[in-house]
Structure 1
Amino acid sequence: MMQQSEWVLKRNCSLSPRQFGMAYLLLCVVTAFWASFFTLNGAPLVMAFAMIELLLVGGAFLHHAIHAADHDRVVLDDRFLMIEYFRAGDVTTVMLERCWVRVSAPRHSGDQLLVQSRDKSACIGSCINGRARKQFARELGVALRSV
């Protein structure tokens, strides 16, 4: 009986959700201060543009927060290669028969790792950089060949 191998491929997020919120709050305070200053000194459109800016930046921050925990989980046992995609709170699972799995290493740094098994295929590694993808392709290939 073979031991199970597992990889978790995830982004490197430099700010915690709390730090991200604090940065946005600081941006709101500074922007509101300067927008109020210019509005009180005769430039009323500055406040409108400042609010539009904060809404757009807030939307971008929200999108980032929703996808900050996205990752791929790859589990290899003696019969199957299981790939779980965690995206914005949803989980999708792909099961491939180990004996038929073929790994196509990424050719360019932006390409994902392609794994195929008979009539199924899956791409892995959208959450990691090109160098880590190539290293994972080598590791997965070695693990698949071991019995």
Structure 2
Amino acid sequence: MQDLGIAFQTAVGDSGGNLDGRTPLPSNDWLMKRNCSLTPRQAGWFYFSIVCFSTAIAVFFAVWLGAWLVLPFAGLELLGLGIALLAYARHAADYERVSVTDGMLVVETASASRITREVFNPRWVRVELGESFRAPVVLRSDKRSVQVGLYLDPYRRRKFAQELAVALQRV
């Protein structure tokens, strides 16, 4: 399993104007995402360059030196690398966004190409952090629960849980 970093930001500010003339409630927004070195496009270009380089070397050994068995092994190597980079690229842009704004708690999670969105009443949500050092933050309301903070290190996960609990108490 790869080591995951975090891009963690908190925005506290104006949530926009209300049409009924009331002062807008402050909004809290947490964006947590993987700290990946390559974007999916960069991974594609990297793979293309490796294919060109590896194919050139394999063709050199096959044609000029007569080692024809190099070609199938180079193909297997490129196939394995392609599968690994495809799995990496599918999850490179994964994120979790938790927003408390205008009386709603919205949890949006993107994993591969699937985006899920859960909306909770913030007055009914419990923020739970397990006793384990690696336990994610669990948001529970009624019979629904959502795990968040999967891309955070344990210290930042605890800090996020505390900030979210304070934000939920203010609503």
CA distance in 2, matches of 1:122, 1:129: 18
Letter in structure 1 aligned against 2:39 = S
Task: State the Cα distance separating 1:109 from its structure 2 match.
Answer: 4.6
CA distance in 2, matches of 1:8, 1:60: 26
TM-score by length of 1: 0.84
Taking the TM superposition and a 5 Å limit, the aligned residue runs for 1:58-77 are 58-77=82-101
CA contact (8 A) 1:114 1:121 kept: yes
Aligned residue among 126, 137, 156 for 1:102: 126
Instruction: Mark the CA change 1:67 to 1:42 in structure 2 (over 3 Å): closer, same or farther.
Output: same
Taking the TM superposition and a 5 Å limit, the aligned residue runs for 1:35-74 are 35-40=58-63, 41-74=65-98
Calculate percent identity across the aligned residue pairs. 37
Structure 2 residues without counterparts, runs of 5 or longer: 1-23
Task: State the Cα distance separating 1:100 from its structure 2 match.
Answer: 1.6
Structure number with higher helix proportion: 1
Q: What residue in structure 2 maps to residue 90 of structure 1?
A: 114
Structure 1 residues without counterparts, runs of 5 or longer: none
Residues 1:128 and 2:152 aligned together: yes
Letter in structure 1 aligned against 2:143 = D
Residues 1:111 and 2:135 aligned together: yes
Instruction: Mark the CA change 1:107 to 1:32 in structure 2 (over 3 Å): closer, same or farther.
Output: farther
TM-score by length of 2: 0.74
Task: State the Cα distance separating 1:76 from its structure 2 match.
Answer: 0.9
CA contact (8 A) 1:78 1:98 kept: no
Letter in structure 1 aligned against 2:90 = I
